[in-house]
């Protein structure tokens, strides 16, 4: 009796072991996934460069004469036209010096006129042998001396006139003037005292620093007519607003900084509303040369392994095929794929964490198990 039960028990254990082995060797169920077709779209993206707004023309206003400030004829912060009088230095001494120089010029001119008359008369008498030759030579010398004195006096007049004109400081170009560094009654020194600063605003420059490997790219933009009017160069203001007007490459610096292997590129923007201010920080966006019709897929489809990027594509046999891809720029929740996927490929976007190359997949939602007791 005991032997019979023992045999039955052994047979039962063998049957259970066989079932466990079959269950172990059975293929795993397909992994539920979500598929999205890779599509071609117009992918427009930009490279961004930190930038500094800079006036194309900046001048520090300094007096070329010494004196006291007797007039200030502008409103600080205003745009002043070229030639407008801005400051006046006490003109009285320079006016007096100018009048004195004029008087000296008239005196030397009178002496020169008299010397010319004498020289002419003595030449006529000498031709008649009526005077000694020495008298004519003296008259000729006196005339030359008088003419030199006239030239010297004329130079003195020019200097006095210039000093008088320097006593009025005018705007060298149309631009915005800053806060005055001096007030009425302040004493200024010739060439030393800073009065104010004026800078041009329209157009205005924006400087960016690029690596030397980008020089060819920016040289192409510099010589390209399209970059002057389209959206190749855009400016983002500090608050994140995109400046409405396009830019153009104005100039590329003469040489590369040997320490940083970079070079400065100046972009020019129209600034009719004076929205851009000298010294402002901004970002210049340069249209990437790879923009155009590109394959895009949802960014969540990307799987990174050992520094390389992959996606899972569904095959006709409902298996997931792992494909190595080359990434382009990210466009919000999408990403450009430069290589590895073609248009229409079904790409797994949900369930990628559970997949391996060659795994079975299904797009059917698995049924929920029945509730206990039902």
Distance CA 236, CA 282 (A): 6
Does residue 59 come out as left (phi exceeding 0), alpha (psi in the -120 to 50 range) or beta? beta
What does R_g of the chain's alpha carbons equal in angstroms?
A: 44
Angle ∠(51,81,199) on CA atoms, nearest 5 = 25
pLDDT at 368 over 50: no
- Pick the most confident of 16-25, 26-35, 254-263: 254-263
Mean pLDDT lowest among 14-18, 200-204, 253-257, 317-321? 14-18
pLDDT tens digits, one per residue of 44-62:
778 889 999 999 999 999 9
pLDDT tens digits, one per residue of 151-198:
999 999 999 999 999 999 999 999 999 999 999 999 999 889 999 999
Distance CA 342, CA 37 (A): 10
Distance CA 41, CA 294 (A): 6
Distance CA 259, CA 216 (A): 20
Distance CA 182, CA 88 (A): 12
Distance CA 205, CA 105 (A): 49
Q: Where are the alpha helices (DSSP H) in the chain?
A: 2-25, 92-127, 133-166, 215-222
The tally of CA atoms less than 13 A away on the side-chain side of residue 175 is: 24
Of residues 304, 307, 297, 286, the one with CA closest to residue 332? 297
- Higher per-residue confidence, 136 vs 268: 268
Distance CA 92, CA 229 (A): 53
For 339-344, what is the mean pLDDT? 85
Of residues 310, 235, 319, the one with CA closest to residue 271? 235
Crossing angle for the helix pair 133-166 and 92-127, to the nearest 10 degrees = 160
pLDDT class for 15, splitting at 50, 70, 90? Answer: low
Distance CA 31, CA 236 (A): 45
| Tokens at 336, concatenated | 């450009």
Distance CA 183, CA 69 (A): 7
pLDDT of residue 16: 57
- Higher per-residue confidence, 328 vs 251: 251
DSSP helix/strand/coil, 129: coil
pLDDT at 14 over 70: no
Q: Measured on CA atoms in the order 184, 186, 189, 194, is the torsion positive or negative?
A: negative
For 275-304, what is the mean pLDDT? 86
- Higher per-residue confidence, 32 vs 198: 198
Q: Round the average pLDDT of the chain to a whole number and report it.
A: 84
DSSP helix/strand/coil, 315: coil
Count of C-beta atoms within a 10 Å radius of residue 62: 16
166-195 core/surface letters (b: 16 or more CB in 10 A; e: else) = bbbbebeebbbbeebebeeebebeeeebeb
Query: Is the CB of residue 94 less than 8 Å from the CB of residue 160?
Result: yes
Chain centroid to Cα 150, Å, comes to: 56
| DSSP element (H, E) containing 303 | strand 303-305
């Amino acid at each position: 009796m005991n032997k019979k039960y023992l045999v039955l028990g052994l047979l039962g254990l063998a049957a259970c072991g066989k079932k466990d082995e079959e269950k172990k060797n059975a293929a795993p169920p397909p992994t539920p996934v979500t598929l999205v077709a890779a599509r071609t779209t117009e992918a427009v993206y930009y490279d961004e460069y930190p930038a500094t707004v800079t006036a194309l023309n900046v001048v520090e206003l300094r007096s070329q004469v010494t004196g006291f400030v007797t007039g200030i004829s502008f409103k600080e912060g205003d745009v002043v036209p070229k030639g407008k009088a801005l400051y006046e230095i006490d003109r009285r001494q320079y006016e007096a010096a100018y009048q004195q120089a004029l008087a000296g010029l008239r005196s030397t001119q009178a002496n020169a006129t008299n010397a010319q008359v004498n020289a002419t008369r003595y030449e006529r008498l000498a031709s008649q042998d009526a005077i000694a030759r020495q008298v004519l030579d003296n008259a000729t010398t006196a005339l030359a001396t008088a003419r030199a004195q006239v030239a010297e006096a004329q130079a003195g007049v020019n200097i006095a006139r210039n000093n008088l004109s320097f006593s009025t400081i005018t705007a060298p170009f149309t631009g915005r003037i800053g806060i005055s560094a001096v007030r009425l009654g302040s004493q200024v020194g010739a060439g030393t005292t800073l009065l104010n600063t004026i800078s041009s605003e329209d157009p205005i420059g924006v400087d960016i620093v690029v690596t030397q490997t980008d020089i060819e790219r920016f040289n192409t933009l510099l010589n390209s007519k399209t970059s002057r009017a389209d959206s190749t160069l855009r400016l983002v203001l500090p608050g994140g607003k995109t400046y409405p007007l396009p830019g153009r490459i104005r100039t590329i610096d003469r040489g590369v900084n040997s320490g940083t292997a970079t070079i400065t590129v100046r972009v020019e923007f129209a600034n009719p509303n004076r929205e851009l201010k000298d010294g402002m920080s901004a970002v210049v966006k340069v249209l990437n040369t790879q923009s155009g019709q590109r394959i895009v897929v949802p960014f969540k489809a990307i799987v990174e392994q050992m520094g390389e990027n992959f996606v899972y594509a569904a095959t006709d046999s409902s298996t997931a095929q792992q494909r190595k891809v080359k990434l382009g720029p990210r466009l919000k929740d999408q990403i450009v794929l430069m290589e590895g996927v073609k248009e229409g490929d079904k790409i797994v976007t949900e369930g990628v964490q559970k997949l391996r190359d060659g795994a079975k997949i299904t797009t059917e939602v698995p049924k929920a198990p029945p509730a206990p007791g039902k």
